[in-house]
């Protein structure tokens, strides 16, 4: 744990009248009159004050910090004249350049009417120590966490003070002021829960003299004044030199390094047909050049081209060839920001990258080309990606086809592709009432969707006939099913029942089977078994899922205890009974009717289906199989076929006696409802068809 | 992970072993290395090994290779040299690794020596004594390694050697200075072929065994060998010491498009190879078919090859669809699986391990907050799959993607002034832009306390007004003098209050 000083930075800016002195570096702003003919006298250059230059430099320091480290690197500002004024807090939403610009506008330039004698930078320095004792959100988080780090968190910070210094004695005085306040505040914090003692502080004193003037004090290197405080003094001229010095300091304070992208082709503003090459210098974490900084063998580290007193790595621009998206072998990505964000080449480069293109950067080496970095933007932030240039230990890997399962050719690649698409992720939020993390929801969704997921085509029938089963497979894997969805599932099952009754071929994979393969009857048996286990895998999800399985079992029951022939007969007779309605339609109608029942009735009905002979769906098959009284197994005889045909023809001509339809044997019981329901509607006994009975049930509700 | 075998070939290594006179220590060392190489050949054929020998100098006898036989051959031809100098040898091993792999690949160094640590200024004792006086740079002590590397020290020495205990302390200190793991190995009991063999077997099994994991996607799963073996994460961060252990399972959480993950940074990459589900079977098979082993191997291969493996299915679909699978590998620790092809177009399933933590890839948002798309009312990918919910945008914009003002260089200010002038000359058409730019410059001047600029601007607008050609729209002059006056007024000093266009008879027609 490094507990870096850079976590907390406090700028103390001298806001006393002496700062309204001019910086002595004139700014020519009226220079665009050449083309407007002679006779125009340019307006006199304006002069920034020392204050303006200091604010510009400090804001630039912050711009770089906030661009590269949007969180956890916090900067606060204090201005000091007759009193100290705080411009922002440690809160994340007050950490932005826009916020600062607003606050600086409120504070305005130094008030020349104030008496310099009443002003002191000490106010600001004292305040700076005080706010360093205030914990940041991150520090608070760790201190209140129940980890071992909670008690060991070190509070380190840095004070950057921009002021005018008269003498070396003045420096000592400022240092002593900070040190005394530090010791004093550390004592105070001992008795406070909200404040934390400062374990170490770095003080950077920056003495700014107007441009071209000599300074009475000289820069002094870092000295450890006490175990609590280290101090360093910088002397710089005002104007743009103070900004340059602060950019150098920000690099040192935050462990930054610079990359210069060389040879960027850009169209000329005046002459769009020609293009010239530009260089743009970028700042980023020094980690982006970790490898190179350890050993610069080819002399790629050169002095900065932006006039900074620092070094940079020159990398060559490679014009992107196409927009092909591929995964790069990327071992790190760090945010970047241009050194000179306001220049045209910089904004050309950043706009190009923000538009979504990625640029490879090449190390200019004597031996061959090496792409060592890539610039790309993600969500409006530009990153430098480090590409691995060393030999990979994964070279010459075995091909996937050489390993286990590599020779199998009928994987359901496309189906799994669809599966992956359905299981894509998207950024979500945890619902306040929901303690499950979204990612865990995703995992449980994967679990549900893979309860039966055959990997190869040859292992499955149902997943090769999805067009027939739709939408059951996609519905049943859901966590919850509503009534409509249950209905859809049942429809799908009835559809397949219909297929079977019409003896339609199943799309059984031909793979691995020589000759004819299993008989159709066997195929259907396998298919039903697979569908059964598929649905069964989900019955634990909800009672609605259970209903789908019940429906399947219902349809399967006759097939289980009867032969195919018998089944066909049954279905045939139903069809003829309801000539005008298709089988599926009938099923749907029954279902709809079932849906309309109350829970209680459904329950009764279900129970009745199992026990009582007069419940319509179950008795239908049973009753008739006895009525027809044909052998319960084996192929159909010619006689049976003939009888069935005759019977069917007859059935068309008259309506079957309801009592017989419902009876379990050849004897039909009359008025069964009389016994069942005391004082029930006697008409129900005389009901003609199953449908009528149902109507009666409805009436009773 | 690549491994350097750093073998001591000083004269002392050719001392005969007391217990069995026919062997020298060197023979035992070579025997031990062969045990390690055989172990690798049987279980981890992808491991790279290099052989470096040292005495007062060091030499790389075999560069990194997977051809373990070439190392065995080289070992047979090793000659005797002068004395043991351990410090330069470690530096040599380090440079062999860095030259080949760079400084990011985790590696291992096995230093094989007798207990003799040398004499005088080149001795290990002297090196350790002077460690505090080094100045860094060239003079730096070769430990700790500047790249992730375990250091194992294997002593070919009987426990009754008088100076052994002193040497062992020094060796342990070396491992501690490196501080990246590794172990000191001493043969148990007397020095013999058997004890050395046992020692190397222990080393092989502990540090050179393949890492077996289960790759899981819901109920689909597959046993896999992850190569090179990923290691637990153990590094200090700014505010916490982060220690993360790998789970026994690589659990797929969901899928993402390659264009959405957009080359995320990772700390390591690993091949995910399916392992035979019939690992235990070969033993049984051997009983049945004693006739030809080669044939049996073939059969075994085909059985494995024809049993469907989830990795192959996953790889195929990831490749075809251009997607990656996000997988959890530890507590709050994620990685991604994708199809990776080398230069020879041989592709395989790869696991890239991200930095631990849920915010390791900023543009994917918090990884544990990624939800299945079914949990959204409207598909985040659009009804026709023409949208993407990525990248996740940060709450505030960076300086280069917003209209910030930097006037440190003169050119910046000049460009802004020119923009105002350009619009001023095209009044009243460019009225909107003129006032927008004017206010932008005004606000920046207020923030920087640059009041001199406001006066200068006002003067400039006055002059522009006088320079207007006779053909100019009358509104232009009105607006220019209005703006000029506004800049001089008190309200111009209010950051929140914009200078607004003058309402004229002409502007009502717009």
Task: Reduce the secondary structure of A152-177 to three states and give it as a string.
Answer: CCCCEEEEEEEECCCCHHHHHHHHHH
The whole-number pLDDT of residue A563 equals 43
The whole-number pLDDT of residue A243 equals 93
The whole-number pLDDT of residue B122 equals 73
pLDDT tier at A309, thresholds 50, 70, 90: confident
Residue B374 contacts A where some CB pair is shorter than 8 Å: yes
Task: Give the separation between CA A3 and CA A25, rounded to whole angstroms.
Answer: 40
pLDDT tier at B280, thresholds 50, 70, 90: very low
Task: Give the separation between CA A452 and CA A457, rounded to whole angstroms.
Answer: 13
Cα distance from A468 to chain B (closest Cα, Å)?
A: 24
Rg of chain A over all Cα atoms, to the nearest angstrom: 42
Q: Which helix (H) or strand (E) holds A25?
A: strand A22-27
User: A-contacting residues of B 293-322, CB under 8 Å?
Assistant: 302, 304-318, 320-322
Q: Which residues of A touch B40 (CB under 8 A)?
A: none
Length of chain B counted residue by residue:
510
Is residue B272 scored above 80 in pLDDT? Answer: yes
Is residue B284 scored above 60 in pLDDT? Answer: no
A156-163/A200-209 β-pairing? parallel
Count CB-CB contacts under 10 A for residue A155. 23
Q: Which residues of A touch B393 (CB under 8 A)?
A: 379-380
Tokens at B12, concatenated: 């002392």
For the beta sheet containing A84-86, the strands, ordered from the edge strand earlier in sequence to the opposite edge, are A84-86, A74-80, A8-14, A156-163, A200-209, A229-237, A220-226
Tokens at B282, concatenated: 């070969």
By CB atoms closer than 10 A (0-12, 13-18, 19+), residue A361 is buried
Residue B459 contacts A where some CB pair is shorter than 8 Å: yes
- Answer whether B391 sits within 8 Å of A379, measured CB to CB: yes
The whole-number pLDDT of residue A614 equals 44
Q: Is the peptide bond before B342 cis (omega within 30 degrees of 0)?
A: no
For A116-136, the pLDDT digits (tens) are 889 999 999 999 999 999 999
Residue A381 contacts B where some CB pair is shorter than 8 Å: yes
The whole-number pLDDT of residue A591 equals 56
Tokens at B238, concatenated: 């700014």
- Answer whether B276 sits within 8 Å of A404, measured CB to CB: yes
Side-chain-side CA neighbours of residue B125 (13 Å): 10
Reduce the secondary structure of A251-269 to three states and give it as a string.
HHHCCEEEEEEEEEEEECC
The whole-number pLDDT of residue A581 equals 41
Which is more confident, B323 or A465? Answer: B323
Q: What is the pTM of this model?
A: 0.80
Is residue A54 scored above 90 in pLDDT? Answer: yes
What would the mean pLDDT of A622-637 be, rounded to a whole number?
Answer: 46
Q: Which residues of B touch A101 (CB under 8 A)?
A: 405, 443-444, 447
Task: Give the separation between CA A668 and CA A570, rounded to whole angstroms.
Answer: 19
Reduce the secondary structure of A379-429 to three states and give it as a string.
CCEEEEEEECCCCCCCCCCCCHHHCCCCCCCCECHHHHHHHHHHCEEEECC
- List the beta strands (DSSP E) in B91-227: 107-113, 149-155, 184-185, 211-217, 220-227
Q: Name the residue in chain A with its Cα closest to that of B469.
A: A36
pLDDT tier at A566, thresholds 50, 70, 90: very low
What would the mean pLDDT of B126-146 be, rounded to a whole number?
Answer: 74
- Answer whether A63 sits within 8 Å of B399, measured CB to CB: yes
Arithmetic mean of pLDDT over chain A: 79
For A17-37, the pLDDT digits (tens) are 999 989 888 888 887 666 666
Tokens at B415, concatenated: 């460009």
Q: Which helix (H) or strand (E) holds A77?
A: strand A74-80
End-to-end CA gap in chain B:
73
The whole-number pLDDT of residue A175 equals 94
The whole-number pLDDT of residue A628 equals 42
Is residue A516 scored above 60 in pLDDT? Answer: no
Cα distance from B308 to chain A (closest Cα, Å)?
A: 5
Give the residue carrying structure tokens 């048996």.
Answer: A525
CA-wise closest residue to B17 among B184, B160, B199 = B160
Q: Which residues of B touch A72 (CB under 8 A)?
A: 238
What would the mean pLDDT of B138-167 be, rounded to a whole number?
Answer: 80
Task: Give the separation between CA A692 and CA A672, rounded to whole angstroms.
Answer: 14
Cα distance from A554 to chain B (closest Cα, Å)?
A: 28
Q: Which residues of A touch B413 (CB under 8 A)?
A: 27, 29
Residue B421 contacts A where some CB pair is shorter than 8 Å: yes
Residue A430 contacts B where some CB pair is shorter than 8 Å: yes
What would the mean pLDDT of B6-25 be, rounded to a whole number?
Answer: 79
Cα distance from A555 to chain B (closest Cα, Å)?
A: 29
CA-wise closest residue to B458 among B482, B493, B437 = B482
Cα distance from B128 to chain A (closest Cα, Å)?
A: 24
What would the mean pLDDT of A458-465 be, rounded to a whole number?
Answer: 79
Is residue A685 scored above 50 in pLDDT? Answer: no
Residue B291 contacts A where some CB pair is shorter than 8 Å: no
Lowest mean pLDDT among A295-309, B74-88, B349-363, B437-451: A295-309
C-alpha distances in angstroms, A236 versus A208, B166, B411? 5, 57, 22
Which is more confident, A198 or A669? Answer: A198
CA-wise closest residue to B454 among B491, B404, B402 = B491
SS3 A504: coil
Arithmetic mean of pLDDT over chain B: 83
Tokens at A46, concatenated: 């304006």
Tokens at A441, concatenated: 């929801």
The whole-number pLDDT of residue B325 equals 93
Dihedral (CA of B76, B77, B82, B84) sign: negative
Is residue A5 scored above 70 in pLDDT? Answer: yes
Task: Give the separation between CA B11 and CA A225, rounded to whole angstroms.
Answer: 55
Task: Give the separation between CA A343 and CA A281, rounded to whole angstroms.
Answer: 11
Cα distance from A96 to chain B (closest Cα, Å)?
A: 8
Q: Name the residue in chain B with its Cα closest to that of A282.
A: B400
pLDDT tier at B278, thresholds 50, 70, 90: very low
Question: Helices A564-577 & A638-653, crossing angle to 10 degrees?
Answer: 20
Task: Give the separation between CA B458 and CA B484, rounded to whole angstroms.
Answer: 4
Is residue B1 scored above 90 in pLDDT? Answer: no
Q: Which residues of B touch A106 (CB under 8 A)?
A: 495
The whole-number pLDDT of residue A236 equals 93
Q: Is B23 left (phi over 0), alpha (psi -120 to 50) or beta?
A: beta
Q: Name the residue in chain B with its Cα closest to that of A323.
A: B259
SS3 A329: coil
Cα distance from B153 to chain A (closest Cα, Å)?
A: 23
Task: Give the separation between CA A521 and CA A194, rounded to whole angstroms.
Answer: 79
Percentage of chain A exceeding pLDDT 70: 76
Q: Which residues of B touch A446 (CB under 8 A)?
A: 217-218, 252-254
- List the beta strands (DSSP E) in B204-264: 211-217, 220-227, 233-236, 241-244, 246-257
Is residue A547 scored above 50 in pLDDT? Answer: yes
pLDDT tier at A662, thresholds 50, 70, 90: low
Give the residue carrying structure tokens 């002392």.
Answer: B12
What would the mean pLDDT of B240-254 be, rounded to a whole number?
Answer: 88
- Answer whether B305 sits within 8 Å of A394, measured CB to CB: no
Task: Give the separation between CA B434 and CA A682, rounded to whole angstroms.
Answer: 92
Residue A112 contacts B where some CB pair is shorter than 8 Å: no
- Mutating which of B97, B224, B257, B263 best tests the A interface, going by the most A Cβ atoms within 10 A? B263
Side-chain-side CA neighbours of residue B230 (13 Å): 34
Percentage of chain B exceeding pLDDT 70: 91
- Answer whether A382 sits within 8 Å of B448, measured CB to CB: no
The whole-number pLDDT of residue A42 equals 81
Task: Give the separation between CA B106 and CA A209, rounded to whole angstroms.
Answer: 51
Residue A511 contacts B where some CB pair is shorter than 8 Å: no
Tokens at A653, concatenated: 């001509």
The whole-number pLDDT of residue A558 equals 59
The whole-number pLDDT of residue A170 equals 92
What would the mean pLDDT of A82-100 be, rounded to a whole number?
Answer: 92
- Answer whether A446 sits within 8 Å of B104, measured CB to CB: no
Lowest mean pLDDT among A168-177, A615-624, B489-498: A615-624
User: A-contacting residues of B 375-394, CB under 8 Å?
Assistant: 375-376, 380-381, 385, 389-394
C-alpha distances in angstroms, A615 versus A402, A583, A623, A660? 61, 20, 11, 13
User: B-contacting residues of A 616-635, CB under 8 Å?
Assistant: none
C-alpha distances in angstroms, B332 versus A143, A255, B360, B387, B495? 21, 27, 10, 28, 46
- Answer whether A445 sits within 8 Å of B374, measured CB to CB: yes
C-alpha distances in angstroms, A651 versus A164, A276, A642, A648, A673? 113, 94, 14, 5, 26
- Answer whether A438 sits within 8 Å of B362, measured CB to CB: no
Is residue A200 scored above 90 in pLDDT? Answer: yes
- Answer whether A446 sits within 8 Å of B1, measured CB to CB: no
Which is more confident, A124 or A565? Answer: A124
pLDDT tier at B346, thresholds 50, 70, 90: confident
- Answer whether B495 sits within 8 Å of A330, measured CB to CB: no
Of A289-298, A477-486, A661-670, highest mean pLDDT: A477-486
pLDDT tier at A697, thresholds 50, 70, 90: very low
For B427-436, the pLDDT digits (tens) are 888 999 999 9
Is residue A626 scored above 70 in pLDDT? Answer: no
Task: Give the separation between CA A693 and CA A614, rounded to whole angstroms.
Answer: 10
Lowest mean pLDDT among A341-345, A395-399, B150-154: A395-399
Give the residue carrying structure tokens 């480090």.
Answer: A386
Tokens at A415, concatenated: 């189906």
Is residue A68 scored above 80 in pLDDT? Answer: yes
**Alpha-helix runs per DSSP H in A562-615:** 564-577, 583-596, 599-610
Task: Give the separation between CA B293 and CA B297, rounded to whole angstroms.
Answer: 6
Q: Name the residue in chain B with its Cα closest to that of A25.
A: B410
Residue A536 contacts B where some CB pair is shorter than 8 Å: no
- Answer whether A381 sits within 8 Å of B365, measured CB to CB: no
Task: Give the separation between CA A453 and CA A451, rounded to whole angstroms.
Answer: 6
CA-wise closest residue to B68 among B50, B43, B94 = B50
The whole-number pLDDT of residue A37 equals 63
Contact between residue A621 and residue A570 where contact means Cβ atoms under 8 Å apart: yes
C-alpha distances in angstroms, A228 versus A145, A231, A411, B433? 26, 10, 67, 54
Q: Which residues of B touch A211 (CB under 8 A)?
A: none
Beta-bridge partner residues of A262? A316
Which is more confident, A574 or A271? Answer: A271
Task: Give the separation between CA A484 and CA A79, rounded to whole angstroms.
Answer: 68
Nearest to B308 among A43, A332, A455 (CB): A455
Residue A425 contacts B where some CB pair is shorter than 8 Å: yes
Which is more confident, A470 or A684? Answer: A470
- Answer whether A374 sits within 8 Å of B304, measured CB to CB: no
Contact between residue A651 and residue A576 where contact means Cβ atoms under 8 Å apart: yes
pLDDT tier at A589, thresholds 50, 70, 90: low
CA-wise closest residue to A428 among B252, B375, B327, B386 = B375
What would the mean pLDDT of A326-349 be, rounded to a whole number?
Answer: 90
Task: Give the separation between CA A177 and CA B489, rounded to whole angstroms.
Answer: 42
Nearest to A437 among B320, B368, B389 (CB): B368
Greatest extent of chain A over all pairs of C-alpha atoms, in Å: 126
Is residue A323 scored above 80 in pLDDT? Answer: no
Task: Give the separation between CA B173 and CA B125, rounded to whole angstroms.
Answer: 11
* ipTM score for this prediction: 0.84
The whole-number pLDDT of residue A77 equals 95
Q: Which residues of A touch B259 (CB under 8 A)?
A: 325
Cα distance from A36 to chain B (closest Cα, Å)?
A: 10
Percentage of chain A exceeding pLDDT 90: 33
The whole-number pLDDT of residue A268 equals 73
Tokens at B413, concatenated: 């200010």
End-to-end CA gap in chain A:
73
Is residue A701 scored above 70 in pLDDT? Answer: no
Number of A to B CB contacts under 8 A, please give it. Answer: 433
Task: Give the separation between CA A454 and CA A472, rounded to whole angstroms.
Answer: 17
Is residue A188 scored above 50 in pLDDT? Answer: yes
């Amino acid at each position: 744990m490094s507990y870096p000083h850079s976590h907390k930075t406090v700028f103390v800016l001298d806001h006393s009248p002496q700062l309204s002195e001019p910086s002595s570096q004139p700014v020519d702003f009226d220079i665009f009159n050449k083309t407007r003919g002679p006779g125009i006298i340019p307006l006199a250059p304006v002069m920034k004050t020392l204050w303006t230059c200091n604010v510009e430099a400090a804001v630039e320091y912050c711009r770089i910090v906030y661009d590269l480290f949007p969180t956890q690197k916090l900067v606060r500002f204090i201005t000091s004249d007759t009193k100290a004024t705080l411009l922002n807090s440690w809160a994340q939403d007050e950490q932005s350049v826009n916020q600062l610009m607003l606050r600086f506008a409120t504070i305005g330039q130094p008030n020349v009417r104030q008496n310099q004698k009443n002003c002191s930078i000490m106010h600001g320095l004292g305040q700076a120590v005080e706010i360093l004792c205030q914990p940041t959100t991150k520090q608070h988080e760790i201190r209140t966490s129940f980890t071992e780090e909670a008690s060991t968190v070190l509070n380190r910070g840095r004070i950057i003070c921009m002021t005018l210094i008269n003498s070396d004695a003045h420096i000592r005085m400022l240092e002593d002021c900070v040190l005394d306040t530090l010791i004093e505040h550390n004592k105070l914090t001992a008795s406070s829960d909200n404040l934390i003692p400062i374990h170490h502080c770095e003080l950077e004193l920056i003495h700014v003299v107007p441009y071209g003037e000599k300074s009475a004090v000289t820069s002094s290197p870092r000295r450890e004044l006490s175990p609590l405080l280290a101090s360093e003094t910088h002397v710089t001229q005002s104007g743009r030199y103070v900004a340059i010095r602060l950019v150098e300091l920000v690099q040192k304070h935050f462990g930054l390094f610079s990359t210069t992208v060389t040879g960027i082709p850009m169209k000329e503003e005046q002459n769009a047909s020609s293009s010239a090459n530009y260089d743009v210098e970028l700042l980023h974490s020094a980690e982006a050049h970790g490898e190179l900084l350890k050993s610069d063998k080819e002399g790629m580290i050169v002095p900065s081209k932006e006039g900074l007193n620092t070094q940079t790595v020159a990398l060559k621009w490679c014009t992107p060839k196409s927009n092909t998206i591929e995964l790069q072998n990327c071992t790190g990505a760090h945010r970047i920001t241009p050194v000179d964000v306001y220049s045209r080449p910089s904004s050309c480069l950043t706009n190009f990258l923000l538009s979504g293109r990625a640029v490879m950067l090449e190390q200019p080496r004597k031996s061959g080309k090496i792409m060592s970095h890539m610039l790309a933007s993600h969500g409006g932030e530009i990153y430098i990606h480090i590409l691995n240039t060393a030999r990979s230990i994964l070279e010459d890997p075995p091909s996937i086809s050489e390993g286990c399962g590599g020779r199998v050719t009928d994987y359901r690649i496309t189906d799994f592709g669809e599966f992956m698409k359905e299981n894509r992720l998207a950024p979500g939020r945890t619902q306040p009432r929901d303690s499950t993390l979204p990612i865990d929801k995703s995992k449980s969704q994967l679990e549900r969707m893979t309860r039966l997921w055959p990997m190869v085509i040859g292992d499955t029938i149902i997943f090769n006939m999805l067009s027939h089963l739709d939408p059951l497979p996609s519905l049943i894997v859901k966590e919850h099913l509503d009534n409509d969805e249950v209905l859809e599932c049942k429809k799908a099952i009835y559809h397949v029942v219909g297929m079977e009754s019409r003896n339609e071929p199943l799309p059984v994979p031909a793979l691995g089977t020589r000759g004819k393969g299993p008989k159709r009857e066997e195929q259907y048996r396998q298919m039903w078994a697979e569908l059964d286990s598929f649905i069964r895998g989900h019955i634990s999800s909800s009672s609605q899922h259970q209903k789908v399985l019940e429906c399947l079992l219902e349809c399967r029951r006759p097939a289980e205890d009867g032969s195919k022939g018998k089944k066909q007969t049954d279905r045939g007779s139903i069809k003829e009974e309801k000539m005008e309605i298709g089988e599926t339609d009938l099923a749907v109608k029954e279902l709809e009717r079932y849906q309309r029942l109350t829970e209680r009735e459904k329950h009764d009905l279900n129970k009745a289906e199992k026990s009582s002979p007069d419940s319509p769906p179950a008795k239908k098959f049973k009753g008739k199989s006895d009525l027809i009284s044909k052998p319960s197994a084996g192929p159909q005889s010619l006689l049976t076929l003939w009888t069935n045909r005759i019977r069917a023809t007859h059935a068309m001509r008259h309506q079957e006696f309801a009592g017989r339809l419902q009876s379990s044997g050849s004897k039909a019981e009359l008025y069964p409802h009389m016994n069942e329901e005391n004082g029930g509607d006697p008409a129900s006994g005389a009901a003609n068809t199953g449908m009528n009975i149902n109507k009666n049930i409805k009436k009773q509700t | 992970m690549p491994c350097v075998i750093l073998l001591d070939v000083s004269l002392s290594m050719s001392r005969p072993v007391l217990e069995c006179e026919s062997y020298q220590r060197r023979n035992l060392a070579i025997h031990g290395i062969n045990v390690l190489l055989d172990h690798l050949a049987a279980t981890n054929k992808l491991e790279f090994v290099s052989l470096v020998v040292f005495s007062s100098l060091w030499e790389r006898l075999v560069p990194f290779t997977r051809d373990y036989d070439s190392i065995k051959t080289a070992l047979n031809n090793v000659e005797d040299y002068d004395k043991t100098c351990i410090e330069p040898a470690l530096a040599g091993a380090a440079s062999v690794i860095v030259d080949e792999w760079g400084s990011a690949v985790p590696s291992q160094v096995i230093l094989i020596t007798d207990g003799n640590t040398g004499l005088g200024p080149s001795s290990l004792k002297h090196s350790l004594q002077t460690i505090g006086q080094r100045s860094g740079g060239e003079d730096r002590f070769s430990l700790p390694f500047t790249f992730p590397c375990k250091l194992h020290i294997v002593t070919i020495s009987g426990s009754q050697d008088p100076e052994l205990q002193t040497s062992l302390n020094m060796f342990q200190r070396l491992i501690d200075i490196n501080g990246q793991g590794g172990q000191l190995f001493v043969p148990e009991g007397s020095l013999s072929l058997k004890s050395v063999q046992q020692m190397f077997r222990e080393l092989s099994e502990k540090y050179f065994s393949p890492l077996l994991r289960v790759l899981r996607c819901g109920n689909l799963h597959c046993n896999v060998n992850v190569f090179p073996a990923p290691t637990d994460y153990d590094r200090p961060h700014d505010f916490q010491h982060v220690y993360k252990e790998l789970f026994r399972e690589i659990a797929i959480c969901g899928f993402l498009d390659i264009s959405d993950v957009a080359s995320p940074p990772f700390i390591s990459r690993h091949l995910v190879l399916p392992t035979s589900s019939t690992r235990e079977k070969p033993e049984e098979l051997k009983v049945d078919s004693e006739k030809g082993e080669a044939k049996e191997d073939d059969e075994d291969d085909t059985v494995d090859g024809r049993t469907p493996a989830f990795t192959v299915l996953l790889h195929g679909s990831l490749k075809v669809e251009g997607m990656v699978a996000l997988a959890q590998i530890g507590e709050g620790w994620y990685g991604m699986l994708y199809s990776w092809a080398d230069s020879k177009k041989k592709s395989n399933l790869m696991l890239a391990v991200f930095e631990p933590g849920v915010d390791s890839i900023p543009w994917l948002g918090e990884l544990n907050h990624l939800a299945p798309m079914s949990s959204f009312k409207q598909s985040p990918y659009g009804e026709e799959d023409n949208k993407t919910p990525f990248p996740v945008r940060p709450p505030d914009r960076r300086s280069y993607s917003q209209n910030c003002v930097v006037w440190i260089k003169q050119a910046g200010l000049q460009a802004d002034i020119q923009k105002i002038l350009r619009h001023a000359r095209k009044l009243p058409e460019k009225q909107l832009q003129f006032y927008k730019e004017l206010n932008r410059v005004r606000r920046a001047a207020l923030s920087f306390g640059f009041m001199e600029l406001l006066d200068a601007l006002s003067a400039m607008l006055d002059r522009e007004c006088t320079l207007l050609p006779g053909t100019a729209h009358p509104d232009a002059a009105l607006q220019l003098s209005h703006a000029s006056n506004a800049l001089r007024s008190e309200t111009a000093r209010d950051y929140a209050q914009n200078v607004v266009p003058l309402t004229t008879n002409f502007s009502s027609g717009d």
